[in-house]
Structure 1
Amino acid sequence: MIMKKFLKIQMLAVLLAAFTLSACDSDEDDKVDEVMTNTIVDVAVGSDDFSVLVEAVTRVGLVDALADPNASLTVFAPTDAAFSALLTELGASSLDDISDELLTSVLLYHVLGEQMTATQLSDGYYSTLSAGPAEGLNLSLYKNGLMLNDRAEITTANVMADNGVIHVIDKVILPLSITGHAVANSSFSSLVAAVVKAELDETLASDDVRFTVFAPVNSAFDQLLTDLGVTLDDLTAEALSPILLYHVLDGVNPSSSVTAGYFPTLATAFEKNVSLGISTDDGVVLNGSSNVAVVDVVATNGVIHAIDEVLLQPNIVDVALSNPAFSILVEAVVKAELVDALSGDGPLTVFAPTNAAFEALFETLEVDGIADLDVTLLTSVLLSHVVSGNVVSGDLSSSSVPTLNTEKSIDVVVNGGVSLDGDINVVLADVQTKNGVIHVIDGVILP
């Protein structure tokens, strides 16, 4: 009996030992599998200053993205005090008064898709992770010194995490409209003053529209005012509005979609949208002289491209001068002393032959160029290309159209395309200017 009890005790001891050993092994396994992390989320959770930020990130489901160990992010992190100030600014009692969609957009507006320490963050524009007004475009954030969008200041930099870096800021940054971006960057202060004076600031701030704005910097306005011999105060709203509208295209046109050609602006002449000429041979150049210096500042309602010269609406002669494809036409117009006539108030319609069209004519006439043509004949030829009125392509019909050469009418045939006098084709229609419209043709009309 004693022996049986002893054996039972021994067996119990062995079982207990085995269980204890197994438990110890399990604890060791847990310790091996458990990896200590210090992600951006861990840093935020571990700080007393970011409780509202953590609440907001958790509510809209961004925790996993900000805790991704494979990510490399930069987060501009507003403190609790920053969120409190925002709620006061918005007249909201709590985050619950802000929709998930808006809150997500605002939070992602504080995040860059790559790790950038303070020394790596130079002044300029940065693409955030917040979605912009068109597919593939993210909203831009402007940094100048320690300031972001001229609103929030970086108070503590380079709080490092395993998957990026945090810079602490004292205000919540809000996404900006086109007007908002112009206001936030002092390089556009003259543009802002002009837009406000022309009462276009609310239009360019509206989220109901989508625009592309070619925005002149201050030095561009300074040069314009010097050339005009005036100050900004001397220009009325009525004078400024058509100038400013000539810098705006309808729709969102990022640099990746900009191509060479003529494009309608919001400025009008004879109830038609005045065209802006864009060339891409050596950078992006507008009307032959204004250079695009900064591209793709993405706002909530469009995109801004900064330019170094204020654009003025061109007349027919200006368009010809700014396009190398019309250099022979310009030479002819100068020789025939028709510059003033084609620069007047109009309206005029010009069928403009390209250089290739003139070169074909020279070969037929067996001459070297415009210099070999008689002025009287040249004037007659050029006036045969000009029609009275602002006749756009949609107004053309198959008919005989009188020209400013009283002895010449053009036989117009509209059949899919537009042909003149049988074998001359309109290859580009409706280049609208302030004193008329140009249709580009591939031949020279002869009297």
Structure 2
Amino acid sequence: MKNINIKSTVLVLTLLITLISCDNNYEDETPSIASLAVSNPNFSTLEAAAVQGGVAVVLSNSNPNDPSGKYTVFAPTNAAFAKLGLVDAGSLGVLQNGFLTNTLLYHVSNGNLLANQIQGGNASTSALGVDRRFIDRNGDLYINGSKIVATNVNASNGTIHAIDKVMIATGVNIVESAQLLQTAKVFKSPELTFLVQAVVTSGLAPVLSDPNNNFTIFAPTDAAFKEAGFATIQDVANTDPIVLQQVLLNHAIVGGSFTSEQTSTTVTTAGGGTLTYSVFQNGVFTIVSNGITSPANMVIPDIQCSNGVVHLIDKILLP
């Protein structure tokens, strides 16, 4: 019996030492931000984007630009990417790599920002150098127009907060932002080519590019112009500039606002018209103007520019 007790004691001690050793190893091997994205199936598109955009290695290591060595990442889920039609690594190919890299950096900030430090009305500077706003809407926290759906996922080199919508910032003014889409600097297939022509022909380019002005712009896509009867860009160029100006001003609201900051159901446009918003649902709403019967939907909401916020929509808001 004595031999059995000694053997049992040795066995128990061995197991304890093994468990303690394993626990210490676990603490030492807390995964990095990049590793967590790899291991979590809800972030597989983000993982692919980080690889394509060249930031996966950065988020695998400590942050050399902060004394803490930490990053904070507001991580779009797969569902967030899917709202842009980006459902896997293959579909990311429609984006230019430079734009993708900047978009990812817009979701990153230096230091460890925990959930209890995130409050509505505050802001946080991104690794791109552009500030993001925190908005408290009925108890839900948003960063710009993206809802924060999970917080404080701990990593060896920082913290992850999951969000339900990809954040986009151009770093340039409203006109220059439209030109980025027009010249395929964002998507490899150009977009907003009709809108840029309309802005130029109408003479509104200086107003919309002025850093002292701040607007919310509902920007119709090329398909929206075609649906409204403009078959070609030349058709837009041939339109009376006064008419184009009246139409475009019906898409502009003084003051740049994200979807999460829009609380009124009606708003007056820069042209003196009225837009009516639907109920805010899942981070977006639809818009109706006096000149249309069916509402315009948001294709890509909440694009932050240096002098406002742009929301791409699928219809022209006729006055």
Q: Check 1:379–1:270 CA distance in 2 against 1; reply closer, same or farther (3 A cut).
A: farther
SS state of the match for residue 410, structure 1?
A: strand
**How far apart in 2 are the matches of 1:442 and 1:361?**
10
SS state of the match for residue 380, structure 1?
A: helix
Map residues 57-76 of structure 1 onto 2, 5 A cutoff. Answer: 60=21
Map residues 378-417 of structure 1 onto 2, 5 A cutoff. Answer: 378-397=244-263, 399-406=265-272, 408-414=273-279, 416=281, 417=285
Counterpart in the other structure of 1:132:
32
AA at the equivalent of 2:303: V
**How far apart in 1 are the matches of 2:278 and 2:158?**
42
Counterpart in the other structure of 2:200:
334
Q: Judge conservation of contact 1:349–1:390 (CA < 8 Å) in 2.
A: yes
SS state of the match for residue 444, structure 1?
A: coil
Shift of 1:370: 0.7
Q: Check 1:344–1:415 CA distance in 2 against 1; reply closer, same or farther (3 A cut).
A: same
Q: Check 1:397–1:211 CA distance in 2 against 1; reply closer, same or farther (3 A cut).
A: closer
Give CA-to-partner distance per residue, 1:125-170, whole Å, 9 cap, x none.
xxxxx843343649xxxxxxxxxxxxxxxxxxxxxxxxxxxxxxxx
Give CA-to-partner distance per residue, 1:78-121, whole Å, 9 cap, x none.
xxxxxxxxxxxxxxxxxxxxx8337854xxxxxxxxxxxxxxxx
Select the residue among 204, 211, 227 that pairs with 1:360: 227
Q: Compare the two structures and name the one with the higher strand fraction.
A: 1
Higher gyration radius (CA) = 1
TM-score, length of structure 1 as denominator length: 0.37
Q: What is the Cα-based RMSD across aligned positions, in Å?
A: 4.3
Shift of 1:435: 1.1
Shift of 1:321: 1.4
Shift of 1:342: 0.9
Give CA-to-partner distance per residue, 1:2-37, whole Å, 9 cap, x none.
xxxxxxxxxxxxxxxxxxxxxxxxxxxxxxxxxxxx
Q: Judge conservation of contact 1:249–1:265 (CA < 8 Å) in 2.
A: no
* Deviating 4+ runs (over 4 angstroms): 269-275, 365-368
* 1:423 matches 2:294: yes
Map residues 33-48 of structure 1 onto 2, 5 A cutoff. Answer: none
Counterpart in the other structure of 2:121:
none
Map residues 152-171 of structure 1 onto 2, 5 A cutoff. Answer: none
Q: Check 1:274–1:394 CA distance in 2 against 1; reply closer, same or farther (3 A cut).
A: closer
* 1:268 matches 2:153: no
Select the residue among 196, 217, 240 that pairs with 1:350: 217
* 1:178 matches 2:63: yes
Shift of 1:358: 0.5
**How far apart in 2 are the matches of 1:445 and 1:341?**
19
Counterpart in the other structure of 2:24:
100
Q: Judge conservation of contact 2:198–2:236 (CA < 8 Å) in 1.
A: yes
AA at the equivalent of 1:132: S
| Gapped regions of structure 1 (runs ≥ 5) | 1-58, 62-98, 106-129, 139-174, 180-194, 196-200, 214-243, 252-263, 276-297, 304-310
**How far apart in 2 are the matches of 1:317 and 1:377?**
19
User: Quick one: percent identity of the two aligned structures?
Assistant: 23
Give CA-to-partner distance per residue, 1:232-275, whole Å, 9 cap, x none.
xxxxxxxxxxxx99934149xxxxxxxxxxxx973326777679
**How far apart in 2 are the matches of 1:341 and 1:313?**
18
SS state of the match for residue 322, structure 1?
A: helix
Shift of 1:386: 0.4
Counterpart in the other structure of 1:211:
73
Counterpart in the other structure of 1:317:
175
Q: Check 1:339–1:274 CA distance in 2 against 1; reply closer, same or farther (3 A cut).
A: farther
**How far apart in 2 are the matches of 1:339 and 1:299?**
47
Structure with higher RCO (Cα < 8 A, 6+ apart) = 2
Q: Judge conservation of contact 2:170–2:177 (CA < 8 Å) in 1.
A: no
AA at the equivalent of 2:32: G
The number of residues matched between the two structures is 200
Map residues 232-251 of structure 1 onto 2, 5 A cutoff. Answer: 247-250=105-108
Q: Judge conservation of contact 1:429–1:438 (CA < 8 Å) in 2.
A: yes
**How far apart in 2 are the matches of 1:248 and 1:325?**
22
TM-score, length of structure 2 as denominator length: 0.50
| Gapped regions of structure 2 (runs ≥ 5) | 1-19, 40-59, 76-101, 110-123, 136-142, 146-154, 161-168, 182-189
**How far apart in 2 are the matches of 1:246 and 1:313?**
13
